[in-house]
Amino acid sequence: MSERLRANAIRRAYTIEDLRQAAKNTLPKGVFDFYDGAAEDEDTLKNNALAFKKQLWRPHVLRDVSKVDPSGEVFGSKIGLPLAIGPTGGAGFGHPLADLALAKAAAQFNIPYCLSTSATTSIERLAEHAPGRLWFQAYVLSDQVHFWKLQERALSAGYEALMITVDLAVGGKRVKDHHNHFSLPFRFSDRNLIDMLSRPRWLFRMMRHGFPVMENLVGANAPKASAMKSLSGLGSSVGKNYDPSFDFDRLKEVRERWPKKLIVKGVQRGDDAAKLVELGVDLIVVSNHGGRQLDGAQASLEVLPEVLASVAGRVPVWVDGGIRHGGDMAKALSLGASGVLSGRATLYGAVAAAHEGAHQALSILSDEFLRTMQLCGVCRAKEFQRDLLQKQI
């Protein structure tokens, strides 16, 4: 498919599922499955989406919705939508410009973008070429010197907030990655070479730009072999550099050393959320890592009420996992979330067609969110309330 035809196909993408199919048609199976797949039987991945489908609308009618305000707020400042693009590692293996494309699209929609530790674009390069409301997500590396250095770099580059992901003590068992012989850092093998050759346009683009490197991990020391024995070789390659001993005391040290806003992502219990508030965290993200870690975990949306009750309004609570429609964003707000993170929904667009795809993904979510507001009789995003929903039994 020529670039012109591909661009036209992206413009004709009317849903996030259309963009997902575009990514599937563009990428080698192993690369697509890395983004699209999850751990083990993928039950948590499915449950995340199902939780939204079980929430049915009870819309108001006869409201003046000729003008609606979809804006949200985070850290005391207005954003275009109650949405941020969450951290997605290895995006450059789908398209070399994916990280930059996501950040630039986020800036156009006036929403934050969170760069992953395992991104293929460095902290500094992203800040230079895609200025906007930038957050940096720091994985808890076993190389503690490198872990602290990343935070110092993010602070020096002007990032607004630091996000610590806490649900990745070890890598989940991502069966599709094993079957596809896909790992990070990426390595060619007899098993995956045919797969790569099946997408010559993707392969040519990779060769032209140079195969991506997870730039923020360059120089980090790999964990000692003894620290990895418990993984038995069947876990994901993702997570092998991370520290399973990281705990509340270590997070407290992060809080003491990081002077700006601190976000913790990966919370799935109310009691843990309450401890995080006491520790001084500024924002909590209810998340199960999109089902990519612990299979069989509760859907994020199902956990949200418990976390909100424990936090009791002391800090904002956001949620991610399973969001594929603007209506899903609205359902999360109706159940009490202050905002949502987008992971796969925007990533599909970026890996399929870089900036045009990322922009189209946000356009789809924005249009659907506005439409849901009007059809539910809601004039401002913060007016979404629990009584607008009825859970299907």
Please give the C-alpha separations between residue 236 and each of 23, 38, 126, in angstroms, as whole numbers: 22, 10, 27
Q: Is 153 exposed, middle or buried (0-12, 13-18, 19+ CB in 10 A)?
A: middle
- DSSP structure class, residue 69: B
The Cα-based distances of 367 to 85, 318, 343, 356, 358 in angstroms read: 16, 21, 18, 16, 14
Domains of the chain and CATH, by start: 3-391 (3.20.20.70)
Q: Which residues are catalytic?
A: 289
Q: How far apart are CA 140 and CA 165, in angstroms?
A: 8
SS3 assignment, position 117 = coil
Q: Beta partners for 55?
A: 391
Separation CA 100–CA 355 (nearest Å): 8
The predicted model scores a pTM of 0.94
Q: Integer distance in angstroms from the first to the last C-alpha of the chain?
A: 45
- Token pair 């993904």 is found at 361
Q: Radius of gyration over alpha carbons of the chain, in Å?
A: 20
Helix (H) or strand (E) holding 51: helix 43-53
Full DSSP string of 346-364 = HHHHHHHHHHHHHHHHHHH
Show the tokens assigned to 252. 């407290």
C-beta separation of 319 from 309 below 8 A: no
| Per-residue pLDDT tens listing for the chain (393 residues) | 556 656 677 889 999 999 999 999 999 999 999 999 999 999 999 999 999 999 999 999 999 999 999 999 999 999 999 999 999 999 999 999 999 999 999 999 999 999 999 999 999 999 999 989 999 999 999 999 999 999 999 999 999 999 999 999 999 999 999 999 888 777 778 888 999 999 999 999 988 988 889 999 999 987 664 444 444 455 555 567 889 999 999 999 999 999 999 999 999 999 999 999 999 999 999 999 999 999 999 999 999 999 999 999 999 999 999 999 999 999 999 999 999 999 999 999 999 999 999 999 999 999 999 999 999 999 999 999 999 999 997
Neighbour count for residue 392 (Cβ, 10 Å): 8
